[in-house]
Structure 1
Amino acid sequence: MSDRAVPTPSRSRPPRGTVDPRAPRFAAAITSVLLLITVFFGLTGLSTAQASDGAWLITQASVTERILDPGFLLLLLAAVLFLWSVAWPRTAPWGALYRKAVAPRLAPPTEWEDARPPRFAQGVGLFVSAIGLVLQLFGVPWALPIAAAMAFVAAFLNAVFGLCLGCQLYLLLQRAGILGRARPASV
């Protein structure tokens, strides 16, 4: 059992402040696909393009052209989804899809996970995406695909291996006394 897991009492509803640990992995799988496509468009788009004289095209592009770049629009979509998951986790699309379409087809979870670390991880994804978006607006070459790639790696590790980097960062900051207090193990 991980540091975040809470044993499941025999009840139909999850304990308050917990989530099925399979839900964040499901969301991470969908998010990683979106971010992989974003990385592709970032690498083939305005962010990495050079003119024949070797100058970066992004530095010569207008702000409107930078915004309309497909990589920018996809990373903006990812950032909006991260924001949605942080601000309104009960209505976030991937969580709602999991609860309505996937969870009913699975056996009930054997344990629940504290909801704070996955929510913090979504905030980290939002932060990384926002940095990439802002740097793209300022015309920094390669910033957008690098930010998208960093977010992709984190989402991929969570989806495939169950390693949530943002959750681990949350637990590290919690143990250092920087973030919230630990919840008791029993609910």
Structure 2
Amino acid sequence: MTLDPRGPRFAAALTSVVFVVVLLTGSGWLALAQAVIFAIGAWDPRRTPYGLLYRFAVAPRLTPPTEREDAAPVRFAQAVGLVFALATVAGYLSGATVAGVVGASFALLAAFLNAVFGLCLGCEAYLLIRRLRAPA
């Protein structure tokens, strides 16, 4: 499966907004909603609410993509995001606010870097792990 690389960047922009709101409100429940989105994205990034919004509302208004990217690194990045979102949820909902803030801050940083600069930290980690596991 391949993806239009603009889709994950669009999703990262929306994710950035969500984590800004999480940090401003301390809402573990909003972080949980984002965790569910990450869980869906780890299975198929095209099936998340953000992916569907991109595919049906944004992409038709754009020129066709000039390149496509493999979905595997994006799925891995969504799984990493899920871990940080769950740490955020656990922190906020258990009263360990500092843990919630740290998890949300890391998730926000990663989403922001992807949205603004196209630097997907989870994708880069996926590629590094693949290189390290490749037979020499």
Q: TM-score over 0.5 for the alignment?
A: yes
* Structure 2 match to 1:23: 7
Residue deviations 1:121-160 (CA, integer Å, cap 9, x gap): 1110001111222244444241111111110110000000
Q: Could you tell me how far 1:86 is from its partner in structure 2?
A: 1.4
One-letter identity of the residue aligned with 1:30: L
Moved more, 139-148 or 103-112: 139-148
Which residue of 116, 137, 143 corresponds with 2:72? 116
Q: Which runs of 5+ in 1 are unaligned?
A: 1-16, 43-70, 182-187
Residue deviations 1:63-102 (CA, integer Å, cap 9, x gap): xxxxxxxx11111111111112112433211111111111
In structure 1, distance between residues paired with 2:44 and 2:68: 20
Q: Give the total of aligned pairs.
A: 135
Q: Which runs of 5+ in 2 are unaligned?
A: none
With structure 2 as the length reference, what TM-score do the two structures score? 0.92
In structure 2, distance between residues paired with 1:31 and 1:90: 15
Q: In the alignment, does 2:126 pair up with 1:167?
A: no
Larger radius of gyration: 1
With structure 1 as the length reference, what TM-score do the two structures score? 0.68
User: What is the root-mean-square deviation of aligned Cα atoms in Å?
Assistant: 1.7
Runs of 4+, deviation exceeding 3 Å: 135-139
In structure 2, distance between residues paired with 1:137 and 1:34: 17
Which residue of 44, 51, 59 corresponds with 1:95? 51
Identity %: 52
Higher helix proportion: 2
